[in-house]
Structure 1
Amino acid sequence: MNRMLARRLVTNVSRMNVLMKSFSTQVAEDAGSLNEKLSKEHEKKQTISNNIQQYDVAIVGGGMAGMALACFLASLPMTKQLNVAIIDSNPALGSRLCIKKDDPPDPRVITVTPATISFLRDAGAWQYVEQSRHASFNKMQVWDYTGLGYTRYDARDVNKEVLGCVVENKVLHSALLSRVEATDFQKTIYPLRLTSMTLQPSSTSTVVDKFSSTASSSAQRNLAKLELSDGSSIYAKLVVGADGGKSRVRELAGFKTTEWNYSQNAIICTVEHSIENQCAWQRFLPSGPIALLPIGDKYSNIVWTMSPSESGHRKSMNDDDFVEDVNRALDYGYGPHPKSSLGTGDLFSWLNMDSTFSANQFFEIPPKVVKLASQRMVFRLSLRHVNTYASKRVVLIGDAAHTVHPLAGQGVNLGFGDAFTLSKIIAEGIALGNDIGEVHLLKRYETERKPANIMMMAVLESFQKAYTIDFGPLNVLRAAAFHGANYISPLKRSIISYASGDQKLPLFT
């Protein structure tokens, strides 16, 4: 009996050991599974947190205005530490264009003013332009088809070295990108499109979306959320719309515009001469102005404004006929050459106390075009201006805020002025400890830029209207304006200074 009990006890103990071992194994397995789940959950949360890309500034549009802003931010002590996203699907941002000096210049060019050159030089970008093809000019001649008057301008009239510099778009854009890349500026380029944008209402609000963890919602407070074309999202304290005339940022943020289309198109192209052109020429014709701008070597750029029907006809005509049309428009077509001496200098002698260098320069015929050196490109012309430039967390610059008639090549220069002013305002806000996306700070940018841009738009609009009307008395008034601008020294200096980018009204100074 005792033996039987002992045997049963041993058996039960053995079974108990097996059960305990099995239980221990199960507990270990469960613990391991739990740890694995916790680890995976932690990794998932960490991945989510890491995927929430946050930036100080998101620049939508990597064209001229957008890259200029990035360049200016990278050059200022208070802003060069910012973390910036640049959103643009243009492949030029990802792969550098090969610019060959032996190739004819691209027809898409910019006439850069001395003020813009100064901005770019201070930011360290102009040195890259100087290493590539560009053409400065220190003289300009303007006249109209009636033959009643002309005006000559000279950089020496205002103690400047140049009146402007003609640069290919791709050269200037490459210079801006090169400068940004040469710094330690924290930038991330997204080769994508902006699809939607959400602005958070207040600093106490939280974002409710697929990233709904406490850590992620806390990180997203009071930021703008930008959804991109690949389905990803980024967040920024400030969104800058630099995405051109068809701005997606402007549309999504609800900015209202005033706009209308001109009944005009512009043809642009590159032409070649037998000699080097060193002057900028502009002649007003009945349907719009034609400009001949030096671009280096024996090449010039043509910007010719005309009716849509004329642009369609001239784009389709053969090269030789087009070249003949260009020479006719710049020389003997539509009307006679202005006379170089009409005794007008005596008429204005009472205001000509300090004669300018160009006052007594004779009228010249532009160099003859011998060959078309590029394709002809046609653009429809329009005017657009936003009613406000800024709202909370969103601001517009360049063509996203305003587009103007290409009469004096001022559009891109206005955009550079926007970018420079905005970078300065952001730097001042950081120095004072302000939130760079707050509307009261961004309104300071609007206050500075809006009047200057509207004034330039008004001046260009007035010129465009005044020089496309063929009416006897008005023709005489235009002739008087040409002669007054040529012989009245204070007026001439004011016009040159204003066109050069000085923020002064084109009045006597």
Structure 2
Amino acid sequence: EAAKQTDTSQGTKEYDITIVGGGMVGAAVGCGLASLPLTKALKIAIIDSNPTLRVRKSLPKDDAPDPRVSAITPATVSFFKDVGAWDYVQECRHAPFDKMQVWDYTGWGYTRYNARDVGKQVLGYVVENKVLHNALLSCLQDKGFAEIICPAKVKSVLFPSSAQSVSNSKSTGQSNNNKAPSTLSEGPSHANSPNCLAKVELNDGRCLHARLVVGADGGHSQVRSMAGLQTSGWEYKQHALICTVELETENQTAWQRFLPSGPLALLPMGNKFSNIVWSTTPEQAAQLKRMTETEFVQAVNSALEHECGPHLPSRISRILEGIPSISEPFQIPPRVIGLSTERMSFPLSLMHAHAYASNRVVLVGDAAHTVHPLAGQGVNLGFGDAAELARILNEGILTGSDIGEISLLKKYERERKLVNLPMMAILDGFQRIFSADFGPVNILRAAAFNGVQFLGPLKKQVISYAMGGKKWP
């Protein structure tokens, strides 16, 4: 059965939840809702400007991998399995990696991570974004869940005030023992009247009313802006250059070297292909894009290999020699031999919404937070948002709460900020510390690398946190 679709006829419809943005995280919210016992009965709409959103796609495995990829954690894989989307990923190209090596441009320190250090087979998977997106959409289509409204753009969103919702409830004589219905399907109520619902107006004149609007519309979120939710953040004055390259040998290790201008990552994609994510100055990014293929390959190899490996007889290393460890020797990264796709670049920034929720509105993914891509955590945080929001809404229905009530949505906000804020702080700190080229900072950086490398318990803690298996203590 295909996912429910709309025509372009005029009129007003009512939904329990309207998801604005049908990208990876928006589709993940839909899958999360479809997989839980109470939320799967909700009436859902997904609005997106992409006219092909509802078209089932066949993704060839023989072409060079698309450079737009995500390094997904085991926690994200578990979510995909729980909602039934992982089987679709397995039908397409996806590359596991069981090791990761991170090292400094000074050559004073390095760290190698191995999945077996924490009793796992893999640290994660590198998957093309289009594969992840297609898997989630296919899951929705096969379940016949959600009405996909596309192509469509949101013209305006009007949200009722909390005071208005309260007064509407009082006017009908509702109390804690006579709550507003959790969903539209629970029957007529003044709390379901258009005055108490969010109103979403589309650019073609159609109008939707919803008990909850989910903003999954990216870093420049219209929903966030229309809801009056403020943000803080800054530009990094860096661009990320991405492309797919071919290596001399097959690769199952994720490599990342911190250079003075920013980190350079080489991520495995299977069949001797790897993905490049090179964060650097806008000027160097433009220069790298202008290079010939030969020049670019030479630049990548030089950046990965120059003074490669620890070459300082560090006192730190000698001090730590007698401590039980799970250390591994430094490895030379594989050589790049060719460029397989075009080179793309985009500016980098950090942004965080002061609040993820207000009355009848909630933010997920990049609409709530954007991070530096140096650890590939951005989309994992978004998938975590999707999973937690579905769980909170299912719990809310169970207890008879209104799914658009701010007190319920604030539970989601609190839970996700406990995860997102520490990760954002760590990634921002890494970016700043590893971009500094100053003697004392270099020594402290090397000490941190060597400390993680040689201290087994600390290394296990770092691996578990990066894999999404636990919150930072």
TM over 0.5: yes
Distance (Å, rounded) in 1 between the aligned partners of 2:371 and 2:354: 15
Instruction: Please say if residues 243 and 277 of structure 2, whose CA atoms lie closer than 8 Å, have aligned partners that are also in contact.
Output: yes
Distance (Å, rounded) in 2 between the aligned partners of 1:342 and 1:216: 72
Q: Match of 2:26?
A: 66
Distance (Å, rounded) in 1 between the aligned partners of 2:25 and 2:353: 16
Q: Match of 2:408?
A: 441
> How many angstroms does 1:494 deviate by?
0.6
User: What SS class does the counterpart of residue 80 from structure 1 fall into?
Assistant: helix
Q: Is 1:159 aligned to residue 119 of structure 2?
A: yes
> How many angstroms does 1:182 deviate by?
1.4
Q: Match of 2:183?
A: none
Distance (Å, rounded) in 1 between the aligned partners of 2:192 and 2:130: 42
Amino acid at match of 1:176: L
Q: Match of 2:368?
A: 401
- Give 1:301-320 correspondences, 5 Å limit: 301-320=275-294
Q: Is 1:321 aligned to residue 295 of structure 2?
A: yes
| Compared CA separation, residues 308 and 218, structure 1 to 2 (3 A) | closer
- Give 1:218-297 correspondences, 5 Å limit: 219-297=193-271
User: Unaligned stretches of 5+ in structure 2?
Assistant: 1-9, 170-188
Distance (Å, rounded) in 2 between the aligned partners of 1:169 and 1:92: 16
Distance (Å, rounded) in 1 between the aligned partners of 2:85 and 2:443: 45
Q: 1:347 aligns with which of 311, 314, 319?
A: 319
Q: Is 1:123 aligned to residue 83 of structure 2?
A: yes
Task: With a CA cutoff of 8 Å and minimum separation of 6, indicate the structure with the bigger relative contact order.
Answer: 2
Q: 1:57 aligns with which of 2, 17, 24?
A: 17
| Compared CA separation, residues 428 and 274, structure 1 to 2 (3 A) | same
> How many angstroms does 1:191 deviate by?
2.0
> How many angstroms does 1:205 deviate by?
6.1
> How many angstroms does 1:321 deviate by?
0.5
Distance (Å, rounded) in 1 between the aligned partners of 2:84 and 2:315: 48
Note the alpha carbon deviations across 1:265-294, whole angstroms, 9 max, x for none.
Answer: 110000011321111000000100000000
Q: Match of 1:83?
A: 43
> How many angstroms does 1:502 deviate by?
2.4
Note the alpha carbon deviations across 1:414-459, whole angstroms, 9 max, x for none.
Answer: 0001110000000001111111000000000011001211100100
Q: Match of 1:145?
A: 105
Distance (Å, rounded) in 2 between the aligned partners of 1:76 and 1:349: 51
Aligned length: 443
Please tell me whether Structure 1 or Structure 2 has the larger radius of gyration of its CA atoms: 1
Distance (Å, rounded) in 2 between the aligned partners of 1:346 and 1:313: 41
Instruction: Please say if residues 266 and 305 of structure 1, whose CA atoms lie closer than 8 Å, have aligned partners that are also in contact.
Output: yes
User: What SS class does the counterpart of residue 122 from structure 2 fall into?
Assistant: coil
Instruction: Please say if residues 56 and 138 of structure 2, whose CA atoms lie closer than 8 Å, have aligned partners that are also in contact.
Output: no
Q: Match of 2:395?
A: 428
User: What SS class does the counterpart of residue 41 from structure 2 fall into?
Assistant: coil
Q: 2:149 aligns with which of 186, 189, 209?
A: 189
Q: Is 1:96 aligned to residue 56 of structure 2?
A: yes
Tell me how large the CA RMSD over aligned residues is. 2.1
Amino acid at match of 1:254: G
Q: 1:331 aligns with which of 283, 305, 317?
A: 305
Distance (Å, rounded) in 2 between the aligned partners of 1:363 and 1:62: 42
User: What SS class does the counterpart of residue 414 from structure 1 fall into?
Assistant: helix
User: What SS class does the counterpart of residue 462 from structure 1 fall into?
Assistant: helix
User: What SS class does the counterpart of residue 93 from structure 1 fall into?
Assistant: coil
Amino acid at match of 1:222: C
Q: Percent identity?
A: 55
Instruction: Please say if residues 54 and 148 of structure 2, whose CA atoms lie closer than 8 Å, have aligned partners that are also in contact.
Output: no
Instruction: Please say if residues 52 and 216 of structure 1, whose CA atoms lie closer than 8 Å, have aligned partners that are also in contact.
Output: no
Instruction: Please say if residues 82 and 185 of structure 1, whose CA atoms lie closer than 8 Å, have aligned partners that are also in contact.
Output: no
Distance (Å, rounded) in 1 between the aligned partners of 2:88 and 2:387: 18
Q: Match of 1:412?
A: 379
Instruction: Please say if residues 107 and 312 of structure 2, whose CA atoms lie closer than 8 Å, have aligned partners that are also in contact.
Output: no
Distance (Å, rounded) in 1 between the aligned partners of 2:58 and 2:78: 26
| TM-score of the pair, normalised by structure 2 | 0.90
Amino acid at match of 1:140: M
User: Unaligned stretches of 5+ in structure 1?
Assistant: 1-49, 207-214
> How many angstroms does 1:121 deviate by?
0.8
Q: 2:462 aligns with which of 484, 495, 504?
A: 495
> How many angstroms does 1:186 deviate by?
4.1
Instruction: Please say if residues 67 and 243 of structure 2, whose CA atoms lie closer than 8 Å, have aligned partners that are also in contact.
Output: yes
User: What SS class does the counterpart of residue 92 from structure 1 fall into?
Assistant: coil
Note the alpha carbon deviations across 1:149-183, whole angstroms, 9 max, x for none.
Answer: 11110001111111110000000000001111111
Distance (Å, rounded) in 2 between the aligned partners of 1:113 and 1:245: 22
Q: 1:376 aligns with which of 333, 343, 352?
A: 343
> How many angstroms does 1:99 deviate by?
1.2
| Compared CA separation, residues 106 and 460, structure 1 to 2 (3 A) | same
Q: Is 1:365 aligned to residue 332 of structure 2?
A: yes
Distance (Å, rounded) in 1 between the aligned partners of 2:380 and 2:308: 34
Q: Match of 2:186?
A: none
User: What SS class does the counterpart of residue 117 from structure 1 fall into?
Assistant: helix
> How many angstroms does 1:341 deviate by?
8.0
User: What SS class does the counterpart of residue 423 from structure 2 fall into?
Assistant: helix
| Compared CA separation, residues 83 and 217, structure 1 to 2 (3 A) | closer
Amino acid at match of 1:271: V
User: What SS class does the counterpart of residue 94 from structure 1 fall into?
Assistant: coil
Instruction: Please say if residues 340 and 363 of structure 1, whose CA atoms lie closer than 8 Å, have aligned partners that are also in contact.
Output: no
| Compared CA separation, residues 425 and 216, structure 1 to 2 (3 A) | closer
| TM-score of the pair, normalised by structure 1 | 0.84
Distance (Å, rounded) in 1 between the aligned partners of 2:264 and 2:26: 29
Distance (Å, rounded) in 2 between the aligned partners of 1:121 and 1:341: 46
